[in-house]
Amino acid sequence: MSAPLLSAHGLTKAYGNRLACAGIDLDITEGEVLAIVGESGSGKSTLLSLLAGELAPDSGEVRYRMRDGQTRSLADLGPAALRRLMRTDWGFVRQDARQGLRMAVSAGGNVGERLMGMGERHYGRIRGQALDWLGRVEIEAGRVDDPPSQFSGGMRQRLQIARNLVTGPRLVLMDEPTSGLDVSVQARLLDLIRRLSAELGLAVIIVTHDLAVARLLSHRIAVMRAGRVIETGLTDRVLDDPEHAYTQLLVASVLAA
């Protein structure tokens, strides 16, 4: 069995007297979708920022298996190497697509910019790949030169997904990607995420407060409360037969809604 693609050991982060994350251990393998669920304030978004190297933990570490097979701590990479990892091997789909896109740059430019970050300089190849990926996320080719400011919320999220996946990453982090979208738009976006993650064999860590999203997309689930992972396991097992009282309350609240 191969080593995890990414693993966290003892991740702890405090803001004053409040523990946002407390001694968290988790891992993810290639091709796996892990959902991190919990109520607002449970620490799940802080955990995602720690996993992404955007926040430094007070203690603990995040380790990642590089393409050369060597597993390294993010803390040992240095800022430049970590930025390169985020531009190439990783993707990060933000809850607010405006934070993950350059709003004044065309749709094609947003996708092509990631390719240029990997050293691609041929305009024809860049535009061709941008058009290919716009098609994959169901954005018409005729919108390639339109800025994201002219797109709907759902289209912006699809563009953000194309921007992140064009470089062929092995790991994609998603922070509430369907939040704030209409139900019908959510459904299309979830179908797209599920299809692309399966086709490309992506490892995906998705933060969500929506258990229906977790059930649809994830293989495993981690339930957070007050900065701690209080239950983890296969998604269907956890949601159909929760062991922890808090998880039971979460599931019951969904069923009663």
**pLDDT, tens digit, for every residue of 99-155?**
999 999 999 999 998 888 777 788 888 899 999 999 999 999 999 999 999 999 999
Which band of pLDDT confidence, cut at 50, 70 and 90, is reported for residue 3?
confident
**pLDDT, tens digit, for every residue of 235-245?**
999 999 999 99
N-to-C CA span, the chain: 41
Distance, in Å, from the CA atom of 115 to the CA atom of 127, rounded to the nearest integer, reads 10
How is the beta sheet containing 220-225 ordered, strand by strand? 90-93, 171-175, 203-208, 33-37, 220-225, 228-234
Which band of pLDDT confidence, cut at 50, 70 and 90, is reported for residue 13?
very high
**Which is nearest to 222 in space by CA: 10, 57, 28, 19?**
28
**pLDDT, tens digit, for every residue of 171-223?**
999 999 988 888 888 998 999 999 999 999 999 999 999 999 999 999 999 99
Return the DSSP state at 193: H
Domains of the chain, each with CATH number or no CATH: 26-89+169-257 (3.40.50.300), 98-168 (no CATH)
User: Residue 205: helix, strand or coil by DSSP?
Assistant: strand
Q: Which of 21-25, 145-149, 223-227, 250-254 has the lowest mean pLDDT?
A: 250-254
pTM: 0.93
Q: Give yes or no for residue 255 having a pLDDT over 80.
A: no
Return the DSSP state at 6: E
Distance, in Å, from the CA atom of 83 to the CA atom of 243, rounded to the nearest integer, reads 39
pLDDT recorded at residue 65: 96
Q: Give yes or no for residue 29 having a pLDDT over 70.
A: yes
Of the chain, the percentage scoring pLDDT greater than 90 comes to 80
Segments of the chain assigned E as strands: 6-15, 18-28, 33-37, 59-65, 71-73, 90-93, 171-175, 203-208, 220-225, 228-234
**pLDDT, tens digit, for every residue of 44-95?**
999 999 999 999 999 999 999 999 999 999 999 988 899 889 888 999 999 9
Structure tokens at 177: 């990607």
DSSP states along 96-155: SHHHHS-TTS-HHHHHHHHHHHTT---HHHHHHHHHHHHHHTT--GGGTTS-GGGS-HHH
User: Residue 57: helix, strand or coil by DSSP?
Assistant: coil
pLDDT recorded at residue 142: 95
